Each structure stands twice: as structure tokens, then as C-alpha cells.
Chains A and B, each alone.
Chain A
Amino acid sequence: MSIEVRIPTILRTYTGGEKAVTGEGATLSEVIEHLESNHPGIKDRLIEGEGLRRFVNVYVNDEDVRFTGGLDTSVSDGDQVVVLPAVAGGS
């Protein structure tokens, strides 16, 4: 099982500058655990408590996982996971 995980600039400090890394797992949650084993510290930037952080967007094959089951979203060989921090702020 091989999944491409696209890493945003701000998190590339965890991946040695790599824009994309290979992931493994049957669900998004498993992919993140696998990421964490290779790139310690990255999980905390994605997850807060039991779910994804409010201002982190994750897409599996272009679908926002908030609408496909969140961390339980299934992934399979050849899928692409994209992580993008929200571009947001307030006065």
C-alpha cells in the first residue's frame, strides 16, 4: 500500500524539506500514524484531541476529509493525501 502525502511548506521541517512523502495505511488515521513514525512531531501539527485541527485541511483525492469521515476516511494504494493549512485570520 503506497499513498502519496503532499506536505505544505510550513511542515517540511519535519520531512527534511521533502514536498511529498510516501504513506501507508487503510485510513487517514493510520497514514498519519505512519507519517509520525518516520517524521516525529508532525502528528501534533495535524491532530488535536480526537480530530483534525480546525485550521488544517486534509484532502484525499481532492475531497475534503471533513465530508468523508475525517480521520476514518479510507485510503487505498495510489491515493493522494494533500495537507494544506487554512489561509485565515481575523482582526
Chain B
Amino acid sequence: MLEIGQATYDAIVAHAKKDHPDEACGVVAGPEGSDRPERFIPMVNAARSPTFYEFDPVDLLKLYKEMDARDEEPVIVYHSHTATEAYPSRTDIGLASEPHAHYVLVSTRHHGNSDGPVELRSYRIIDGAVTEEDVSVVKK
């Protein structure tokens, strides 16, 4: 199960809506081994594409060095799908490289940049196997 604070949940959804129709992406870092997503870090989608996302390689290095210095790891890796459901695509599965992370997908296909509910789901992706998990939003 993914336990996520309301503020972090809202921040991920807001980022996805803002970047629609392009895919939005980012991480939520937390203390290593804690499984607590605490520090919301929106990233630039270097691909600027409605069908693909990739962290910019320079930003990626900076992010990982910073997490390393703070003894953090990416607890959540999130991105949005803008025309399809919030389920990992074949590319998502093939490229997933954080076995400890919760992969959060948001779909903005119904409301785009506007208000309205979005689909947000969470998965583990390990060695090509996808396992969906419950998302529990907590007030904090």
C-alpha cells in the first residue's frame, strides 16, 4: 500500500493538470528505507511530449546527488498519461528502474487542465512485473 499525505497527493495532481497535454513527471523523496514520501520534487519533462517523459540528464544527476547527500531515496516516481488510463505502459514497465519505489500514474484524459477528478493509481514495477496497490491518502 502507498500511504501519501493529502498535500503531496494534491501537488502531484496539480502538476499533472498544469502540464497537460504533455506528460508531467517527478519524484517524492523520503528517508532511505522509510517508505515515507515527504519531499515533493516536480521535474521537467525533457521530452515535452504528450506520449513520453524523461527527466533531463543534468537534472537527474543533480536530483540523485541531492537525495544521496540527504540519505533519501525516491519513494514515489510519478508521471501522467494524458490520453490513456493510469496504468503503466509497456515502455513504463521496460524502463522502470527503481525497485523500491511506488510508481504513481495520473491520468488527465477526462478533464485536462480543468478542475475535475483525476485517476491516480500506484504500482510496484519489479523485473517487468506490475503489481497495483491501494493508495491511502492521509491528512498531514
Contacts and interface: CB of A to CB of B under 8 A. Distances in A.
B39 to A, nearest CB: 16
A84 B53 CA distance: 16
Interface residues of B, number: 34
Interface in B22-70: 23, 25, 27, 43, 47, 49-55, 57-58, 60-61, 64
Interface string A7-48: 011100000000000000000000000000000000000000
Contact of B100 (A9, A62, A84, A85): A9
* Band of interface residues on A: 10 to 19
B54 A87 contact: yes
B23 A85 contact: no
Contacts of A90: 23, 49, 51-53, 89, 91-92
A91 B73 CA distance: 25
A87 B51 contact: no
B55 A88 contact: yes
Interface in B62-119: 64, 73, 77, 79, 81-84, 88-89, 91-92, 95-100
26 contacts: A9-B99, A9-B100, A10-B99, A57-B60, A64-B57, A64-B58, A64-B61, A85-B97, A86-B54, A86-B60, A86-B95, A87-B27, A87-B54, A87-B55, A87-B97, A88-B54, A88-B55, A88-B91, A89-B79, A90-B51, A90-B91, A90-B92, A91-B51, A91-B81, A91-B82, A91-B83
Given A82-B64, A89-B52, A89-B88, 12 more contacts: A10-B97, A55-B95, A85-B95, A86-B57, A86-B60, A87-B55, A88-B47, A89-B91, A89-B95, A90-B23, A91-B83, A91-B84
